[in-house]
Amino acid sequence: MSKSSPQQFTPFLPSANPQAWLGVMGGGQLGRMFAQAAQSMGYQVAVLEPSDDCPAGQVAQRLINAGYSDGQGLDVLAAQCFAVTTEFENVPADSLSRLSQHVFVAPDAHGVSVAQDRIAEKSFFVGCAAKSGVQPAPHKVIASQADIDAIGDELLPGILKTVRMGYDGKGQVRVRSREDVRAAFDSMGQVACLLEKMLPLAYEVSVLTARGADGQSVVYPIAENVHRDGILFTTTVPGPNVSDDCAKKAQAAAQAIVAELGYVGVLCIEFFVLKDGSLVVNEMAPRPHNSGHYTMDACVTSQFAQQVRAMARLPLGDVRQHSPAVMLNILGDVWFSDETDATREPAWDQVLALPGANLHLYGKDDPRRARKMGHLTFVAPTLAEAQQQLNAACAILGIAP
């Protein structure tokens, strides 16, 4: 799949036009934090979202209630804004193409379409491996029973993943045999899937990078991630296990990938670090990312302010990290003290009494187990101190550290 050429436009400064609007496809928490960053820089924000009660809509100056493929809604967004972005990767690429006929779109339809299709994504990673220096895990497309019959022994055990719409561990099943693959394929409705070989994983890192329309790019410090039940649990920066050599390889690979993609905006790329120290590229998200939330409190320029800069064709911001940080996802589980449906407000006063605590709640009034409700970031002079305060917060909230 060929890369696209960056769209070239002159910067659009908020001071030059008090009605400078930026648009967001999607009304979730990423859209909310983007809107808050844009507003702090003098821009107004319009959100296109089918739900009339959404985190981003609560803070944006305008909420356009329309589906992501609704032509009239898209035209209203394009007429309102000089640039549009997306806060999630499953927005229809055709909608971004339609918007790009009238306004600057970052990321563009090409970058999003590659990231939202695991087959296209793996093909892209393989195609740019000579420049990035990294390969994805061995894999095979599973679209029929014949594909299952043809699975090589070297691909098992593995993970069967749906090609589209997978996130937070959804659409994924671990498999050890062809019989397991067959059962998982049937349970997924026999939609197109990708079988990936399970590798000897030491830990996972994510690399947050941003690229401007002028081709310049920046890359943030490497984040080390821990997942629970397929959902990001903590992000630690600097990663305690990440060597300087590994960090440099991952950062160089990320910048090569974002350039080869012809991408404009913030892009997060997840890598596996194997037990032998080698690096494997896993997947990418064409937007600010959960693992990049620490940048709001620990870096000169947050990932959301960086997205604003890229959209407005402004110089990209300083990515220096001024303090070690640990980020904890807050799920709806902490509103429940037992197995019943009774909820109670978590002890935020005790959490906020901890040194270095920064609480970000997303405006969701319906806590549900496993639902992302917010995050906590602890910053401190040393990483050990930040980790100590995170452990204290977990104890207060009833979360196993």
What are the Cα distances from residue 129, in Å, to 153, 216, 251, 253, 260? 25, 20, 14, 9, 10
3 state DSSP class of 18: coil
Backbone angles phi, psi at 21, to 5 degrees: -115, 140
Please identify which residue in the block is written with the tokens 């589209």: 164
Q: Is 167 annotated as a binding residue?
A: yes
CA–CA distances in Å: residue 284 to residues 112, 116, 196, 261, 353: 10, 9, 16, 11, 36
Q: Is 199 annotated as a binding residue?
A: yes
Which residues lie across from 197 on neighbouring strands?
158
Is 352 labelled a binding residue?
no
Burial of 205 (0-12, 13-18, 19+ CB in 10 A): buried
CB count within 10 Å of CB 337 equals 11
Dist CA 71 CA 135 (whole Å): 39
**Residue 329 marked ligand-binding:** no
Q: Does residue 116 sit in helix, strand or coil?
A: coil
Return the amino acid letter for 205: V
Task: Give the C-alpha distances (Å, rounded to integers) separating 378 from 50, 111, 239.
Answer: 34, 33, 14
161 is in an annotated binding site: yes
**Known binder of ligand: residue 171?**
yes
Name, in order, each residue with C-beta under 8 angstroms of 340's C-beta and a sequence gap of 6 or more: none
Give the 3-state secondary structure percentages of the chain, helix then strand then coil, rounded to 5. 30, 25, 40
List of residues 6+ apart from 189 with CB closer than 8 A: none
Would the annotation count 283 as a binding residue? yes
Q: Is 198 annotated as a binding residue?
A: yes
- The total of other beta-carbon atoms located within 10 Å of residue 249's CB is 20
Strand 172-175, strand 279-285: pairing: unpaired
List phi, psi (to 5°) of 284. -135, 155
Task: For residue 166, say whether it is annotated as part of any ligand binding site.
Answer: yes
> Could you give phi then psi for residue 288, rounded to 5 degrees?
-55, 155
Known binding site for ATP: residues? 118, 161, 166-172, 196-199, 204, 227, 282-283
Known binding site: residues? 118, 161, 166-172, 196-199, 204, 227, 282-283
